[in-house]
């Protein structure tokens, strides 16, 4: 018999419909009332599939084929079809990724919360009850409860408020389980931190068992008591967050943590080579064996069984606690001092950019010396992308001056000379839209070579191969189309296209934000090498403060269209002066357990908890 | 989860795949056989007719007999020979008008979408003015003033399609023109015409195919209609539209002289329309079907 609101998942399996190919298998975990379990994994690991299965739901093309999910002692996979609507939203609530998409834009927020109650509690006749409960849950999520607020429409609320409304809806019916599916994506760090605290609080006080799905280890660390790491459809490690972060036992967990950039040290980030196997092509043995530095012959034989480390901590690895390679410590990057004497490649002065009459950059000025990487950090809406787009000539509505090697640049790319266009190259944020789906990688990379240099065919082809080599793509990729590439490979191809023009200045706009952590590390590390090798000037735009330390020599902090702080990376990170920068630093999630208050990335591997 | 890896053939020849898939659907099969039958009649007639279509062989409006399977027309010419010989010009004209209309319209539409701003306004408002005249009235106006020259009819009908095609293609291109991969090429200073043909157009194959199909139906109906009104091939040359018009007086004596050409035009229009519809459905369902097929084959491989 299980205790109330205890969630127990046993041997859950989800398959591709009509086949015996499992997408998710052998998933076991328990969540005690009031606790939050973090479900961490990279894209394709099956974390969302598990999350949805908790609602008795499988996405189109998938089918829940085995296992049991007990809530309050009842198996929710065994209940009748007609009981499902009462389950979903009533007993198990779901908080989706995009709050704006989850709210009906034409209905007032008060009504939307009340609707959940009316549907599930059948209290349509007792309007005062419903209204009372609506106020109660709004108060619980720290939102105003007055009539005026209840009558607002979703678009009249900020992103953070919208997300709170969705949370209020989830808690409204006093569910036993709440599933959070990466609900903080798109929120800025301060909102995110408050939001995570709110979730942890609410779950604890209302005795809800919560599952928090995320790709971000640091975020999970802030909210979850226990963490389950998923890889290729299986949980590979499960344990208390503090223990897992301090002494990760599975090689995948260890490598994943090494891929997370550090806010506190300039270190070489290490990605994980290779790609996870897809559901249809998983090997007979351990799914991670192919990428695992520790893998031995026994790993290829059969899927590893659970091995207990302690009562609450287990790992799915046969070599655990046995002659594991020491993965501790990351190589530190020697801080290169920013020499003020280097001539500036790019000088920006009094840049004021607008959309229509709405000014979003209010007099931004900085210089970018040659052979230097300058990072521009800011939250969404700070104007960092607009700044990049003004520099490359994509956003034309600006005043002020942008000088490239002393020459004033015209507003739009169309008015600029071919030489300038060639020398300033831009890498787009989203590799999924930056490559023409009708062209092969070879054609895409050859395009700027043909356009800027007009080389003969053979020479151009040789150059394409060389540029692809620079981004570690083999010649096999020449004839592949973008949809045959993974996200990381696409971004490499996009970077190759920019490098093919042989630029002096590379503007990278959030190039890693659409990628998994392990891929992000590889891409950023690659950019760092390319920058040094080709002696590029680089403008690295990101919302992720931690990435900055691994790549840039100097940093610009942008807030609401103004530069609030700029200087060498070391100085700004160690001794931030502007209150905004200080807040940004303290609110950024770190790879540590919130409770310990420690702000250190555990750089130690399996056996040593931490080094100074 | 796993992303579909579409075959190279689909990438290189999306139009072929679309046709292939459309031809495999029930709607497509019916459409293709109807239109195919009419095309066969017209093509056979282009090279062979039992008698001369213009010779006076029988009594006016003679009833069908063994020598004259469909009887004689109002001047006593062989209806079968006229039916056989009267289709291919219509087909050629319809195809030519469609190609002209879709090419011009697509270019205008994509240009408007890509360049935007004032160019967009000017092109599209111009199209609106054009659109104010019904296609057939426009064609009548042009042909009526200059004279019933075949090339002029083709041009008039083709131009009549331009505004409609431009609207559809503009809508489709608006989305593509905003994509980052278009911007990436734009930032290199590549000329707009090259961006339109090299980057945008290859991504618009599906809507283009659908437009070609549906415009072909319109072309057939309008050209046959003009021919019925006397603006087409001039007597004594046979044409289906013409035949309906001239043999109306003998509808009671020898109805076949009217029914057969009318039925052929109808079958052709219905056939092409059904097939165009099948192409449109294939274009919409393209991705999902590819994905399902992919999942099936991969799963089959895995279970082996």
Is residue B119 less than 8 Å (CB to CB) from chain A?
Answer: no
Please name the member of B185, B202, B302 whose beta carbon is closest to the beta carbon of A438: B202
Only one residue has tokens 């895995």, namely B302
Are B299 and A413 an interchain contact pair (Cβ–Cβ within 8 Å)?
no
The Cα of A399 is separated from the nearest Cα of chain B by a number of Å equal to: 20
Contacts of A499 in chain B (CB under 8 A): none
- Max CA-CA distance within chain B? 75
3-state SS assignment for residue A515: coil
The Cα of B304 is separated from the nearest Cα of chain A by a number of Å equal to: 11
Token pair in block for residue B129: 């003015």
Q: Phi first, then psi: what are they for A424, rounded to 5°?
A: -110, 115
Q: Residue A49's beta-bridge partner residues?
A: none
Residue closest to B279 by CA, chosen among B202, B201, B212, B200: B212
Contacts of B197 in chain A (CB under 8 A): none
Partner A, chain B 165-224, Cβ-Cβ below 8 Å: 179-190, 199, 202-203
The Cα of A297 is separated from the nearest Cα of chain B by a number of Å equal to: 23
Residue closest to B161 by CA, chosen among B182, B142, B133, B185: B133
User: Which residues of chain A register pLDDT less than 50?
Assistant: 1-3, 593-612
Top residue of B15, B186, B187 to mutate, by most chain A CBs within 10 Å, is: B187
Top residue of B181, B182, B191, B301 to mutate, by most chain A CBs within 10 Å, is: B181
How confident is the model at residue A500, as a pLDDT?
Answer: 94
How confident is the model at residue A3, as a pLDDT?
Answer: 47
Distance CA B283, CA A191 (A): 43
Only one residue has tokens 């290199």, namely B188
Q: Phi first, then psi: what are they for B43, rounded to 5°?
A: -70, -45
Quick one: A606 exposed, middle or buried, by C-beta within 10 A (0-12, 13-18, 19+)? buried
Partner A, chain B 131-170, Cβ-Cβ below 8 Å: none
Token pair in block for residue A355: 């959309």
Non-local (6+) Cβ contacts of A356 within 8 A are A397
Contacts of A436 in chain B (CB under 8 A): 181-182, 199, 202-203
Residue A564's CB is within 10 A of a number of other CB atoms, namely: 18
| Cβ pair B250, B64 in contact under 8 A | no
Are B299 and A19 an interchain contact pair (Cβ–Cβ within 8 Å)?
yes
Are A16 and B183 an interchain contact pair (Cβ–Cβ within 8 Å)?
no
The Cα of B199 is separated from the nearest Cα of chain A by a number of Å equal to: 7
| Cβ pair B127, B191 in contact under 8 A | no
Token pair in block for residue A302: 């059969």
Please name the member of B179, B184, B303 whose beta carbon is closest to the beta carbon of A19: B303
Residue closest to A185 by CA, chosen among A214, A142, A156: A214
The reply to whether omega before B236 is within 30° of 0 (cis) is yes
Q: Phi first, then psi: what are they for A240, rounded to 5°?
A: -60, 140
Beta strands in A233-356 (DSSP E): 234-240, 307-310, 313-315, 344-355
Distance CA A214, CA A42 (A): 8
DSSP state letter for B216: H
How confident is the model at residue B126, as a pLDDT?
Answer: 92
How confident is the model at residue B37, as a pLDDT?
Answer: 96
| Cβ pair A552, A152 in contact under 8 A | no
Are A413 and B189 an interchain contact pair (Cβ–Cβ within 8 Å)?
yes
Top residue of B11, B114, B180, B194 to mutate, by most chain A CBs within 10 Å, is: B180
Alpha helices (H) along A23-158: 47-53, 84-87, 99-102, 109-121, 127-140, 147-150
Contacts of B189 in chain A (CB under 8 A): 413-414, 416, 418, 421, 451
In which order are the strands placed within the sheet that holds A226-231? Answer: A92-95, A177-181, A209-214, A36-40, A226-231, A234-240, A313-315, A307-310
Non-local (6+) Cβ contacts of A381 within 8 A are A560
| Cβ pair A591, A260 in contact under 8 A | yes
Is residue B237 less than 8 Å (CB to CB) from chain A?
Answer: no
Only one residue has tokens 């990049």, namely A388
How confident is the model at residue A158, as a pLDDT?
Answer: 83
In the A/B pair of chains, how many CB contacts fall below 8 A? 86
Q: Residue B72's beta-bridge partner residues?
A: B78
Quick one: B297 exposed, middle or buried, by C-beta within 10 A (0-12, 13-18, 19+)? exposed
Token pair in block for residue B38: 């009419």
Q: Domain limits of chain A?
A: 96-172, 344-590
The backbone region for A65, taken as left when phi is positive above 0, alpha when psi lies in -120 to 50, beta otherwise, is alpha
Distance CA B191, CA A535 (A): 30
Is residue A476 less than 8 Å (CB to CB) from chain B?
Answer: no
Residue closest to A20 by CA, chosen among A392, A207, A279, A261: A279
Contacts of A439 in chain B (CB under 8 A): 202
The backbone region for A370, taken as left when phi is positive above 0, alpha when psi lies in -120 to 50, beta otherwise, is beta
How confident is the model at residue A326, as a pLDDT?
Answer: 53
| Cβ pair A167, A198 in contact under 8 A | yes
Mean pLDDT by 10 residues, chain B (304 residues): 44 77 88 95 92 88 87 90 92 96 95 93 92 85 87 93 94 92 92 92 91 94 92 89 91 92 95 92 66 53 46
Are A44 and B4 an interchain contact pair (Cβ–Cβ within 8 Å)?
no
Is residue B60 less than 8 Å (CB to CB) from chain A?
Answer: no
Only one residue has tokens 């020398």, namely A423
Partner B, chain A 509-538, Cβ-Cβ below 8 Å: none
The Cα of A606 is separated from the nearest Cα of chain B by a number of Å equal to: 31
Token pair in block for residue B257: 């002289």
pTM listed for this prediction? 0.82
How confident is the model at residue A595, as a pLDDT?
Answer: 38
Residue closest to A434 by CA, chosen among A493, A499, A350: A493
Are B181 and A436 an interchain contact pair (Cβ–Cβ within 8 Å)?
yes
Q: What is the DSSP string of A530-557?
A: HHHHTT-EEEEEES-HHHHHHH-SEEEE
Token pair in block for residue A117: 């109650």
Non-local (6+) Cβ contacts of B162 within 8 A are B101, B104, B105, B108, B127, B130
Closest residue in A to B301 (Cα) is A280
Distance CA A234, CA A44 (A): 11
Are A422 and B188 an interchain contact pair (Cβ–Cβ within 8 Å)?
yes
Q: Phi first, then psi: what are they for A27, rounded to 5°?
A: -90, 115
Is residue B303 less than 8 Å (CB to CB) from chain A?
Answer: yes
Query: CATH top-level class for A344-590?
Result: alpha beta
Contacts of B11 in chain A (CB under 8 A): 438, 481
Closest residue in B to A232 (Cα) is B1
In which order are the strands placed within the sheet that holds A505-509? Answer: A424-427, A505-509, A537-542, A373-377, A554-559, A562-568
Distance CA A155, CA A147 (A): 17
Distance CA A301, CA A298 (A): 6
The Cα of A143 is separated from the nearest Cα of chain B by a number of Å equal to: 37
């Amino acid at each position: 018999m299980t205790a109330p609101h205890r969630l127990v998942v046993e041997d859950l399996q989800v398959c591709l419909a009509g086949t015996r190919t499992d997408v998710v298998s052998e998933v076991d975990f328990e969540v005690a009332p009031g606790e939050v379990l973090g479900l961490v994994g990279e894209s394709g690991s099956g974390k969302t599939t598990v999350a949805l299965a908790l609602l008795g739901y499988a996405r189109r093309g998938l089918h829940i084929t085995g296992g049991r999910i007990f809530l309050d002692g009842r198996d929710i996979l065994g209940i009748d079809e007609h009981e499902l609507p009462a389950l979903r939203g009533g007993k198990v609530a779901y908080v989706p990724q995009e709050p704006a998409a989850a709210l009906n834009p034409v209905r007032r927020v008060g009504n939307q919360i009340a609707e959940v109650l009316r549907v599930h509690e059948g209290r349509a006749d007792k309007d005062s009850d419903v209204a009372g409960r609506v106020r109660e849950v709004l108060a619980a999520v720290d939102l105003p409860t007055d009539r005026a607020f209840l009558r607002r429409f979703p678009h009249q609320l900020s992103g953070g408020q919208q997300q709170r409304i969705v949370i209020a809806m989830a808690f409204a019916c006093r569910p036993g389980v709440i599933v959070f599916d990466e609900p903080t994506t798109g929120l800025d760090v301060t909102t995110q931190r408050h939001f995570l605290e709110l979730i942890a609080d609410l779950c604890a006080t209302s005795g809800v068992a919560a599952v928090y799905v995320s790709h971000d280890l640091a975020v999970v660390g802030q909210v979850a008591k226990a963490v389950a790491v998923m890889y290729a459809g299986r949980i590979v490690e499960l344990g208390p967050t503090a223990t897992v972060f301090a002494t990760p036992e599975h090689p995948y967990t260890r490598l994943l943590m090494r891929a997370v950039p550090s806010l506190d040290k300039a270190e070489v980030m290490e990605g994980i080579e290779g790609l996870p196997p897809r559901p249809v092509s998983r090997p007979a043995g351990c799914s991670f064996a192919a990428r695992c530095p520790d893998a031995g012959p026994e790993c290829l034989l059969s899927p590893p069984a659970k091995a207990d480390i302690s009562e609450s901590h287990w790992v799915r690895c046969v070599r655990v606690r046995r002659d594991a390679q020491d993965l501790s410590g990351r190589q530190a990057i020697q801080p290169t001092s920013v020499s003020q004497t280097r001539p500036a490649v790019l000088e920006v002065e009094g840049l004021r950019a607008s959309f229509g009459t709405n000014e979003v950059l209010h007099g931004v000025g900085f210089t970018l010396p040659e052979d230097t990487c300058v990072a521009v950090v800011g939250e969404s809406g700070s104007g960092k992308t607009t700044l990049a787009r003004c520099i490359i000539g994509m956003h034309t509505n600006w005043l002020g001056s942008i000088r490239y090697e002393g020459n004033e640049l015209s507003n739009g790319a169309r008015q600029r000379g071919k030489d300038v266009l060639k020398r300033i190259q831009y890498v787009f944020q989203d590799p999924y839209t930056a490559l023409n789906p009708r062209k092969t990688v070879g054609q895409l990379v050859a395009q700027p070579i043909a356009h800027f240099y007009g080389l003969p065919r053979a020479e151009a082809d040789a150059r394409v191969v060389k540029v692809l080599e620079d981004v570690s793509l083999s010649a096999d990729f020449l004839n592949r189309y973008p949809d045959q590439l993974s996200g990381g490979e696409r971004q490499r191809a996009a970077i190759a296209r920019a490098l093919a023009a042989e630029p002096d200045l590379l503007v990278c706009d959030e190039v890693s934000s659409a990628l998994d952590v392990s891929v992000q590390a590889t891409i950023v590390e690659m950019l760092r090498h390319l920058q040094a090798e080709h002696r590029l000037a680089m403008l690295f735009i990101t919302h992720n403060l931690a990435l900055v330390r691994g790549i840039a020599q100097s940093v610009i902090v942008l807030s609401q269209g103004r530069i609030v702080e700029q200087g060498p990376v070391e100085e700004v990170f160690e001794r931030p002066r502007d209150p905004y920068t200080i807040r940004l630093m303290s609110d950024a999630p770190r790879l540590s357990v919130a409770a310990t208050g420690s702000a250190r990335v555990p750089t130690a591997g399996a056996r040593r908890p931490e080094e100074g | 989860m796993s992303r579909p890896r579409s075959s190279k053939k689909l990438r290189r020849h999306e139009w072929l795949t679309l046709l292939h898939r459309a031809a495999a659907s029930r709607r497509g099969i019916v459409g293709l056989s109807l239109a195919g039958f009419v095309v066969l009649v017209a093509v056979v007639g282009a090279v062979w007719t039992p008698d001369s279509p213009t010779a006076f062989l029988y009594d006016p409006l003679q009833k069908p007999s063994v020598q004259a399977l469909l009887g004689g027309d109002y001047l006593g010419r062989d209806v079968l020979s006229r039916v056989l010989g009267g289709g291919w010009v219509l087909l050629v004209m319809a195809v030519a008008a469609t190609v002209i209309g879709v090419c011009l319209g697509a270019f205008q539409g994509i240009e408007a979408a890509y360049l935007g701003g004032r160019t967009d306004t000017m092109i599209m408002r111009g199209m609106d003015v054009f659109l104010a005249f019904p296609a057939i009235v426009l064609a009548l106006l042009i042909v009526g003033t200059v004279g019933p020259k075949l090339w002029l009819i083709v041009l008039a009908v083709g131009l009549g399609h331009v505004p409609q095609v431009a609207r559809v293609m503009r809508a489709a291109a608006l989305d593509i023109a905003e994509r980052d991969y278009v911007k990436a090429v734009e930032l290199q200073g590549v000329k707009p015409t090259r961006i339109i043909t090299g980057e945008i157009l290859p991504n618009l194959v599906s809507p283009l195919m659908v437009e070609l199909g549906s415009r072909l139906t319109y072309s057939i109906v309008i050209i046959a209609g003009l021919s019925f009104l006397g603006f087409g091939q001039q007597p004594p040359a046979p044409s289906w539209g013409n035949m309906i018009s001239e043999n109306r007086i003998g509808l009671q004596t020898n109805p076949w002289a009217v029914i057969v050409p009318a039925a052929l035009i109808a079958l052709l229009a219905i056939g092409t329309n059904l097939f165009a519809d099948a192409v449109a459905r294939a274009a919409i369902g393209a991705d999902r079907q590819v994905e399902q097929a992919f999942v099936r084959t991969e799963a089959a491989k895995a279970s082996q």
